[in-house]
């Protein structure tokens, strides 16, 4: 059955819903040629993560972790050069912390705990709520949109 579904999508005989996005669509440039989103990951239980990047007259990478159902998310700067009077690259350390956090039981996951674990690694950590659905949530968990602005309309 799964093989038939994959074959139908590959041959174009199965129509996807209008406006449907896939996770690969989410890796994209959002600001001409110097900013975007990449590295989208599904951690299950309605949780996703991705990086926002910028590379014009300075470089930064922010790590974003989101709960698609609630819209709660954490964002932290994990790399920066020539943006402010600081320079650091802690991407690998942040990914290690995130991987450990996402291996825990979803019932035990907490953004506050993740923020504490990232405290000495990431900079400018923010935990807040989104009003808009992200691309990764639209691709993987559209049923969790709730009253958030749909991704197709938010972008």
pLDDT tens-digit map of 146-155: 999 999 865 5
- Closest Cα partner for 53 from 74, 71, 73, 31? 31
Say if residues 122 and 77 touch (Cβ distance below 8 Å).
yes
Residue range 1-15: average pLDDT? 33
The secondary element (H helix, E strand) that includes residue 115 is helix 111-118
What's the helix, strand, coil split of the chain in %, to 5?
30, 35, 35
Residue 72 confidence (pLDDT) above 80: yes
Alpha-carbon distance 24 to 41, whole Å?
A: 10
The residue that leads in pLDDT, 20 or 107, is 107
Residue 78 confidence (pLDDT) above 80: yes
How does pLDDT run across 15-71, given as a tens digit for each residue?
Answer: 334 457 899 899 988 877 788 999 999 999 999 999 999 888 889 999 999 999 999
Residue range 127-143: average pLDDT? 96
Q: For residue 139, what are its two tokens?
A: 């691709």
């Amino acid at each position: 059955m799964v093989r038939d579904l994959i074959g139908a999508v590959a041959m174009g005989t199965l129509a996807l819903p209008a406006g449907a996005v896939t996770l690969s669509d989410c890796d994209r440039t959002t600001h001409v040629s110097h900013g975007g989103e990449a590295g989208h990951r599904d951690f299950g239980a309605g949780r996703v993560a991705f990086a926002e990047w910028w590379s014009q007259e300075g470089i930064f990478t922010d790590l974003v972790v989101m709960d698609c159902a609630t819209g709660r998310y954490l964002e932290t700067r994990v790399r920066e050069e020539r943006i402010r009077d600081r320079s650091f690259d802690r991407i690998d350390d942040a990914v290690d912390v995130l991987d450990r956090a996402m291996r825990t039981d979803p019932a035990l996951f907490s953004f506050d705990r993740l923020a504490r674990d990232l405290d000495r690694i990431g900079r400018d950590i923010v935990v807040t709520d989104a009003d808009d659905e992200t691309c990764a949530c639209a691709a993987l968990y559209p049923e969790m949109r709730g009253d958030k602005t749909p991704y197709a309309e938010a972008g």
